Amino acid sequence: MRYAYFPGCSAESTARDMHQSTLAVAEALGIELVEPEGWTCCGATAGHQTDRVLAAALPAATLVKAADMGLDLVVNCAACYNRMKVANHEITTNKQVRVKVADALGRDYDGSVNVRHFLEVLLDDVGVDAIQKMLRGSLAGTKVASYYGCLLVRPNDVTGFDDPENPTSLDRLVHAMGGTALDWPHKVECCGGGLSMSRTDVVINLTDSIVGMAKMAGADCIAVSCPMCQINLDMRQLDIARRQGNHYDMPILYITQLLGLCLGIAPERLGLNKLMISPAKVVKAVVAA
């Protein structure tokens, strides 16, 4: 299994742990991820708020590189995944956008590269049965609130990835790892992603509601697949405690970190030391298969 892999800008900064755990899990499962040489920013999250053509041209600059490689493009950041999918949609459904993007890139791009989230590869290409055979440990009933956020499954006519109101892809992996995937109402609520720096007050209220609901549902941790969601739910718990007086101590882990633990990968290779809220209780809960 060989794919072009777009790590995104945050892979070397705020989401280094997502990048580390993705590469570690891919290696353990025999998935070859090849970064397109010279990939560039996809424009998330501000690009599409300023210019429609720019919003399509920025992702297309990397998509044409994947096209030259003749490979599907795999993305693990939900925001990057969304922008890549939207760019393909814009280019294939709007001739004017396609022409203007071609002018910006200096070549035509037809929107044909198959953009896939890493979750799709895990579930559809590797498969749950194969993953389970490679597990060295189990979540042993750990209660996990799977959090999808806004961008992974919406808009559904563009992403087509999972149900936009009640997605289950993360839950399926949690079940495969021996965890308990909770049925809770905030799995697709917005965390305030792009407002993290400009409207901290809004983000604190939104994340307080999400983490609080997960706590009420009995979660031991929250599983995510978006770096903006992860940093908001993880880091903002300190602000929530300070401003709202709510102390959750809720670990926020990437699904690749949970899977990595169950595959027997060392916590440091998964970037677990980079989390603000200690995942120690989750690490301890993983038992030998």
178-206 in b/e burial notation, b at 16+ Cβ within 10 A? bbbbbebebbbbbbbbbbbeeeeeebbeb
Query: Does the pLDDT at position 289 exceed 70?
Result: no
pLDDT at 197: 67
**If you write DSSP's letter for every residue of 249-268 in order, what string do you get?**
---EEEHHHHHHHHTT--GG
CB atoms within 10 A of CB 65: 20
Q: Rounded to an integer, what distance in angstroms lies between the CA atom of residue 58 and that of residue 285?
A: 42
Q: In this structure, is the dihedral angle defined by the CA atoms of residues 7, 67, 170 and 130, taken in order, positive or negative?
A: negative
**What average pLDDT is seen over the chain?**
94
How confident is the model over 262-266, as a mean pLDDT? 97
pLDDT at 196: 67
pLDDT at 15: 87
pLDDT at 198: 66
Q: Does domain 2-117 have CATH number 1.20.1050.140?
A: yes
For the domain spanning 135-288, the CATH number is: 3.40.50.11810
pLDDT at 283: 96
pLDDT at 10: 87
pLDDT tens by residue, 166-222: 999 999 999 999 999 999 999 999 998 777 666 888 999 999 999 999 999 999 999
pLDDT at 287: 85
Q: Rounded to an integer, what distance in angstroms lies between the CA atom of residue 240 and that of residue 102?
A: 46
pLDDT tens by residue, 27-86: 999 999 999 999 999 987 665 667 889 999 999 999 999 999 999 999 999 999 999 999
Confidence (pTM) = 0.96
pLDDT at 192: 87
Query: Does the pLDDT at position 97 exceed 80?
Result: yes
pLDDT tens by residue, 246-261: 999 999 999 999 999 9
Looking at the DSSP assignment, which residues form a beta bridge with residue 138?
Answer: 287
pLDDT at 43: 86
Q: Where are the domains of the chain?
A: 2-117, 135-288
